[in-house]
Structure 1
């Protein structure tokens, strides 16, 4: 394998391919509800099912993708994921051509969305395994940081771009673009060499569940703040008769990506536990600002703090996971670790919606505040027990 500096040069093409693949996820996300509800007799509940099924298939296949990456290599897993993305988008394209009865088109959309979720599992876990395998465990923080910046950058730009393309050219044209983007990503990574494979036998996920669970719980608790902000900040602004609610996600996204780009080295330099402590405190402050804001300026400031706080928690805890699992099961462990965040996103929305119906929108952000504080307490307890070093990062 090449030396560390030359191996790091493989990270930009891998990241660019990930950006393109996540654009294929982000661009249709805001389009599917208006597309489905434009069909006579189909409402928001059906649209929600079509949107949400992709996240469910992602959660259910994270560890499966991780096992594949451990046995066959991250390169094979990521390339397979990109192919699945292409196939999923092509199926959705056919569903949008209005050639079939509505129920058949709906069934195709659901199949495409389920396949998209599987593609996301293999692409992301493959990127983790491929990148860390090339750079080494000492570069795990950089790989996790770059992948997060790619994902959230794609969501920040993909949503508005997808809506604009949908209004200009229709659903099938949009899905045609989404079919091409992963193929371009596949071409970009063709020249990146495979990383070493440490095991070609099937490794079980369950032996490492106890190791990754506390780190995954921290990531899940952190994810609540992002989930409730993304889903409910704009309607919170409307309920308070404030302007500029649409800027909330922009503020969050810019702060998140900036944190990844400018602070991505901190988990390796300071240790994941210390960075997580600081980050959870910042996220809690952001959620408190939103909950108790007397006007939109403080609420938008809270969105910035939430984005900055959430930014480094996933790579911080991911670094600790990589340090504690053998290389032969690294991708499986990271797949299970990522599933904690997926589950947080999947559960937070419905819980927050129910909470807001009974207690109002402020209660949602108080829930985000409470989860961040519980995460902070959990990290402090782990550090006090000696489960995590307060400084430094162990050798790979």
Structure 2
């Protein structure tokens, strides 16, 4: 049984890498299970089981809907029972999702039975995703001094992104692995991806045994209600939700936008977006801790919006690829720059609840943006998607600026108090 680490006071602390290396590994392994089935799941439902693209889309959306619905409960559990326990629950739920997928791929249940098991797997992963994202982010914040919260969020965020990307890459290789194993082992690509979905979080559970548990912060004051937390963090959450429309627009539609213009490099644009997203965290991981006003977040949103608007009017594929990279750079910094004022707006004992509700704004954007963009594409063309998303990101500057103005006012009041 591991012992909780003591709460850390503000000021110098041990190396962030030393503190967060095991939590980062745990979260990375857990979120590999989110990426592993991405490539094969829609194909399994659409082509193999024969339900078509509409049902496949609904199956994929189930996970995001479950995550959105369970965010408030996940945050409460993490605050009351500890972030380490919340992450452990997320790992278990993720492994269960892989088990459901594996049974769907192996048992002779027919298309309806297999679809039911896949839906159960999506529900389990929806719950697991909430615990891993919210619990993992709060875990990293609680393990360091509060003045390092932004850097911790950036660090754990890279682990999350790497885990999803690695899982997606390995899941995409599942078909080739299945072909290599035949005829010795008769497993199709979907079953191989399901095994990875199950095994990766189980490996995370092993490392979680040795990872430090964060302190459970207590307070003499009555805990804030859900409504009070929403009122405290709605500005940064609204800003992040509007910014997330840009993320969804690029990741969901940039390839199709390239195809409609006769460009065959849409995959490079996505890769450029992802690479810039990761690279930005390296030199600017602590920018939200050093910020003394809204200038950094306004610049990050300007980079995101600027990239989207250039994507709208780009005259060549390489300019569009550069614009996608600029968008990824801006989006990468937006998350921590708005998360920090959100978590500083509530008592530390309710950090996870604030993070859960803040992350819920991304879930809403992920649910709303694709269908709205589909309507825009059908009526005004794929390029117009980036114009509308760019306008939404520019609108995010208003609540983002207000969030930082209020944060600085509150910190000024706290520092001047006797």
Shorter-chain TM-score above 0.5:
yes
Distance 1:125 1:258, change over 3 A: same
**Following TM superposition, by how much is the alpha carbon of 1:381 offset from its aligned partner in structure 2, in angstroms?**
4.7
Instruction: Indicate if the aligned counterparts of 1:271 and 1:392 stay in contact, CA closer than 8 A.
Output: no
Q: Does 1:279 align with 2:288?
A: no
Distance 1:268 1:331, change over 3 A: same
Cα distance, 1:167 vs structure 2: 4.1
Aligned counterparts, 1:1-396, within 5 A = 1=6, 4-5=13-14, 9-39=18-48, 41-169=50-178, 170-199=189-218, 204-271=225-292, 273-382=294-403, 386-389=405-408
Question: 1:30-63 CA deviation, whole Å, 9 max, x = no partner?
Answer: 2111111223541001111111101111111111
CA gap of 1:303–1:167, structure 2 versus 1, over 3 A, is: same
Asked whether the 8 Å contact 1:90–1:179 carries over to 2, the reply is: yes
The structure with more radius of gyration: 2
CA distance in structure 2 between the partners assigned to 1:390 and 1:283 by the alignment? 27
CA-based RMSD: 2.1
- Deviation larger for 328-337 or 183-192: 183-192
- Rounded to whole Å, the distance in 1 between the matches of 2:126 and 2:410 is 37
Q: Which moved more, 1:340-349 or 1:124-133?
A: 124-133
Once the two structures are superposed, what CA deviation does each residue of 1:180-207 show, in whole Å capped at 9, x if it has no partner? Answer: 1011111112122322212499763221
Q: Verify the 8 A CA contact 1:271 1:390 in the aligned structure 2.
A: no
The CA deviation at 1:7 is 6.7
Instruction: Measure, in 1, the Cα distance between the counterparts of 2:293 and 2:24.
Output: 22
Report the TM-score, using the length of structure 1 for normalisation: 0.94
| Moved >4 Å (runs of 4+) | 200-203, 390-395
* Paired residue total: 393
Superposition TM-score, scaled by structure 2 size: 0.89
Could you list the runs of 5+ residues in structure 1 that have no partner in the other structure?
A: none
For structure 2, the 5+ residue unaligned runs are 1-5, 179-188
* Partner secondary structure for residue 119 of structure 1: helix
Contact 1:21 1:185 in 2 (8 A): yes
